[in-house]
Amino acid sequence: MSSSHVIGLTTPLSVKDVEGLRAGDRVLISGIIYTARDAAHKRLLSLIERGKSLPFPPEGQIIYYVGPSPAPPGRIIGAAGPTTSYRMDPYTPRLLELGLKGMIGKGKRSTQVREAMVKNKAIYMAAIGGAGALMSTVIKEAKVIAYEDLGPEAIRRLTVDQLPAIVVNDTLGNDLYEDGEKRYQII
Amino acid sequence: MRKISAKHLTEVIKREVIAANLQLGDDMIEALRRARNIEESEVGKEILDKLLENAELASANRIPICQDTGLVVIFAELGQEVCIVDGDFTEAIEEGVRVGYQEGYLRKSVCHPFTRENTGDNTPVIIHLDMVPGDRLRLWVVPKGGGSENMSALYMLPPSAGWNGVKEKVVETVVRAGPNPCPPTIVGVGIGGNFEKCAILAKKALLRPVSEPNPVAELQAMEVELLEEINKSGVGPEGLGGRVTSLAVHINMMPCHIASLPVAVNIQCHANRHREVLL
Question: Closest to A67 (Cβ–Cβ): which among B67, B105, B240?
Answer: B67
| pLDDT above 80 (res A3) | no
Instruction: Tell me which residue range forms the domain holding A25.
Output: 6-184
For residue B236, give the nearest of B208, B270, B211, B263 by alpha carbon.
Answer: B270
Residue B20: how many other CB atoms lie within 10 Å: 26
For residue B219, give the nearest of B255, B251, B246 by alpha carbon.
Answer: B251
Question: Closest to A166 (Cβ–Cβ): which among B180, B232, B240?
Answer: B240
Residue A155 to residue B215: CA distance in whole angstroms: 48
Annotate B218-243 with b (16+ C-beta within 10 A) or e (fewer): ebeebbeebbebbbbbbbbbbbbbbb
The answer as to whether A91 is a domain residue is yes
| pLDDT above 90 (res B31) | yes
Instruction: Note the pLDDT of residue B232.
Output: 96
The angle subtended at Cα B63 by Cα B58 and Cα B68, nearest 5°, is 100
Instruction: Note the pLDDT of residue B211.
Output: 80
Taking the mean position of all CA atoms in its chain, how far away is CA B178? 18
Looking at every residue in chain B, the average pLDDT score rounds to 96
Domain holding A82: CATH number? 3.20.130.10
Looking at every residue in chain A, the average pLDDT score rounds to 95
Residue B102 to residue B14: CA distance in whole angstroms: 10
The answer as to whether A73 is a domain residue is yes
Model confidence over A86-131: pLDDT tens digits? Answer: 999 999 999 999 999 999 999 999 999 999 999 999 999 999 999 9
Average pLDDT, integer, range A134-158: 95
Q: Are A176 and B240 an interchain contact pair (Cβ–Cβ within 8 Å)?
A: yes
The answer as to whether A99 is a domain residue is yes
Q: Are B233 and A176 an interchain contact pair (Cβ–Cβ within 8 Å)?
A: no
Q: Which residues of B touch A83 (CB under 8 A)?
A: 67-68, 147
For residue B90, name the pLDDT band (cuts at 50, 70, 90). very high
- ipTM of the predicted structure? 0.91
Question: Closest to A177 (Cβ–Cβ): which among B108, B179, B270?
Answer: B179
The answer as to whether A1 is a domain residue is no
For residue A92, give the nearest of A156, A128, A27, A45 by alpha carbon.
Answer: A45
Q: Which residue segments constitute the domains of chain B, with CATH numbers given?
A: 2-22+65-144 (3.30.360), 147-273 (no CATH)
For residue A2, name the pLDDT band (cuts at 50, 70, 90). very low
- Chain B contacts in chain A segment 48-67 (CB below 8 A): 66-67
Residue A169 to residue A121: CA distance in whole angstroms: 11
For residue A70, give the nearest of B66, B106, B167 by alpha carbon.
Answer: B106
Model confidence over A69-89: pLDDT tens digits? Answer: 999 999 999 999 999 999 999
For chain A, the domain total comes to 1
Q: Which residues of A touch B270 (CB under 8 A)?
A: 130
Model confidence over A43-62: pLDDT tens digits? Answer: 999 999 999 999 999 999 99
Instruction: Note the pLDDT of residue B157.
Output: 98
Contacts 24+ apart (CB under 8 A), B217-221: B219/B251, B219/B252, B219/B253
Please enumerate in sequence order all residues whose Cβ is within 8 A of that of B230, keeping only pairs 6 or more positions apart, or say none: B170, B171, B174, B175, B187, B245, B246, B249
Please enumerate in sequence order all residues whose Cβ is within 8 A of that of A168, keeping only pairs 6 or more positions apart, or say none: A23, A109, A124, A125, A126, A175, A176, A177
